[in-house]
């Protein structure tokens, strides 16, 4: 093959390559001319060896020139096809630069968690440390150590969810989902020496039907202070200070005599009804009473102190315990406790 023939071979190749309609056609053309096995140009290259020495340089140069042109044509066509593909894809896509950006949705704390943290923070300003304790509890801490032995009528106040003991059912040591956080009073006193000032938020369980103000799984916060010379006025002052920080000075608080086996004297704390302010005799929240019971409290019973080895002549203390969701309801105005646990974002996103 002379130089002339190589030129026309290259012309044909460049034309075919330029006409390739897609990547596959281009690749077929490339193989036809540059393919290692029997591409036309590869064949021509092989012949160099059999030529007389005088012809080799000119022929070699012609082969190289043909190869360069064909390779350049492949490169160019390949680029053109890629550009066309991208252009086609872009034409199929509709980019609307005027659309508003997608909103980043930030999470937030659940209103009950917010309330729990606020309770801890407020009591911290009054010198109370936050501690936590077990949700699954021994009968001893939930009742016995709190002056509520088996068969005591007061047990009916805490509708109990008994559970089978994971350590092996021992009828002498029944276990339960704690129906209140008061067992932690005993555990803390067992572990520490006075002075004590702790607040204990935590989940509680009761075997109860739910309604607008009751859930069978709910949160309480418990407070305990033990020191020399503590009196009922320390209890009242502490709870007034707390209520003022939570609700501002507008909300009214009522202390009324109550009964708990583990405090003496005992009192019930109620806040005036945020929903009807005492004006609706059929109010779903307060039942027309105008007051919402928010917490129980009292001076720690001497027998409870004695049981943990404290001398009641030297040490006195006060304790209180209330429902966290009720606080959350008072703060948010939510009329039904069940709203907190339905996981409806339309509700939760408001807080
Ligand atoms: N634990 C009691 C309840 O669940 C409340 C309480 C706590 C009362 C501390 C007195 C002292 O009703």
- pLDDT tens, position by position, 59-81: 888 888 989 999 999 999 999 99
- Across-strand partners of 129? 198
Same domain, 67 and 173: no
143 token code pair: 């009742």
Same domain, 119 and 35: no
Same domain, 118 and 192: yes
Answer whether residue 301 is part of any domain.
yes
- What residues contact 283, with CB distance under 8 A and at least 6 apart? 273, 275, 276, 290
Give the domain-ending residue among 58, 91, 124. 91
Per the CB < 8 A criterion, the answer to whether 146 and 186 are in contact is: yes
Answer whether residue 270 is part of any domain.
yes
Number of other CB atoms surrounding residue 179 within 10 Å: 22
- pTM attached to this predicted model: 0.69
Same domain, 77 and 125: no
Q: Which of 216, 300, 317 is nearest to 262 (CA)?
A: 300
Domain count, the chain: 2
Answer whether residue 49 is part of any domain.
yes
Q: Which of 37, 52, 47, 50 is nearest to 6 (CA)?
A: 47
Same domain, 81 and 133: no
Same domain, 60 and 125: no
Answer whether residue 96 is part of any domain.
no
pLDDT in tens, 15-48: 999 999 998 999 999 999 988 888 888 888 888 8
pLDDT in tens, 99-158: 898 888 888 999 999 999 999 999 999 999 999 999 999 999 999 999 999 899 888 888
Give the domain-ending residue among 43, 60, 91. 91
The ligand 1 atom at the shortest distance from the C-alpha of residue 295 is 5
Q: Which DSSP category does 284 fall into?
A: T
How many angstroms does the Cα of residue 137 sit away from the middle of ligand 1? 16
Residue of minimum CA distance from atom 10 in ligand 1: 297
Output Rg (C-alpha) for the chain, integer angstroms.
42
CATH code of 156's domain = 3.30.930.10
How many angstroms does the Cα of residue 234 sit away from the middle of ligand 1? 17
Question: Which of 224, 297, 321, 323 for mutating ligand 1's site (highest number of atoms within 8 Å of CB)?
Answer: 321
Task: Tell me the residue range of the domain where 297 lies.
Answer: 111-348
How many angstroms does the Cα of residue 344 sit away from the middle of ligand 1? 31
Same domain, 148 and 260: yes
- Across-strand partners of 53? none
Same domain, 225 and 263: yes
Same domain, 121 and 201: yes
How many angstroms does the Cα of residue 282 sit away from the middle of ligand 1? 28
**92: helix, strand or coil:** helix
54 token code pair: 């005088």
214 token code pair: 């009751």
Alpha carbons 167 and 119: distance in angstroms, whole number = 34
The ligand 1 atom at the shortest distance from the C-alpha of residue 157 is 12
How many angstroms does the Cα of residue 280 sit away from the middle of ligand 1? 28
Same domain, 115 and 50: no
Residues with CB under 6 A from ligand 1: 180, 182, 222, 260, 263, 296-298, 319-321
How many angstroms does the Cα of residue 320 sit away from the middle of ligand 1? 6
Pairing of strands 175-177, 161-163: antiparallel
The ligand 1 atom at the shortest distance from the C-alpha of residue 181 is 1
Answer whether residue 105 is part of any domain.
no
pLDDT in tens, 188-204: 999 999 999 999 999 99
Same domain, 148 and 17: no
Same domain, 215 and 344: yes
Peptide bond into 246 cis (omega under 30): no
């Amino acid at each position: 093959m002379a130089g002339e023939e190589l030129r026309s071979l290259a012309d044909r190749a460049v034309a075919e390559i330029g006409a390739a309609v897609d990547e596959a056609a281009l690749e077929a053309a490339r193989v036809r001319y540059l393919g290692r096995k029997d591409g036309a140009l590869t064949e021509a290259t092989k012949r160099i060896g059999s030529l007389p020495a005088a012809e080799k340089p000119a022929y070699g140069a012609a082969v190289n020139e043909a190869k360069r042109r064909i390779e350049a044509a492949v490169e160019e066509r390949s680029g053109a096809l890629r550009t066309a593909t991208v252009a086609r894809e872009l034409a199929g896509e509709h980019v609307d630069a005027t659309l508003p950006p997608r909103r980043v949705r930030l999470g937030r704390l659940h209103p009950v968690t917010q309330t729990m943290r606020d309770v801890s923070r407020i009591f911290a300003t009054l010198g109370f440390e936050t501690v936590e304790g077990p949700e699954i509890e021994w009968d001893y801490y939930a009742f016995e150590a709190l002056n509520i032995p088996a068969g005591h009528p007061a047990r009916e106040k805490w509708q109990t969810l008994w559970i089978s003991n994971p350590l092996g059912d021992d009828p002498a040591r029944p276990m339960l989902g704690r129906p209140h956080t008061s067992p932690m009073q005993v555990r803390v006193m067992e572990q520490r020496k006075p002075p004590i000032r702790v607040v204990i938020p935590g989940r509680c369980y009761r075997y109860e039907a739910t309604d607008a103000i009751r859930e069978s799984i709910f949160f309480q916060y418990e407070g305990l202070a033990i020191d020399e010379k503590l009196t009922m006025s320390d209890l009242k002052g502490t709870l007034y200070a707390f209520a003022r920080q939570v609700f501002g000075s507008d909300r009214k608080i009522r202390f009324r005599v109550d009964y708990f086996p583990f405090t003496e004297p005992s009192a019930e704390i109620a806040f005036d009804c945020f929903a009807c302010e005492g004006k609706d005799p059929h109010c779903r929240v307060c039942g027309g009473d105008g007051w919402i019971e928010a917490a129980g409290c009292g001076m720690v019973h001497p027998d409870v102190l004695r049981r943990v080895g404290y001398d009641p002549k030297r040490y006195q203390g006060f304790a209180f315990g209330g429902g966290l969701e009720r606080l959350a309801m008072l703060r948010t105005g939510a009329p039904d406790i069940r709203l907190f646990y339905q996981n409806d974002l339309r509700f939760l996103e408001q807080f």
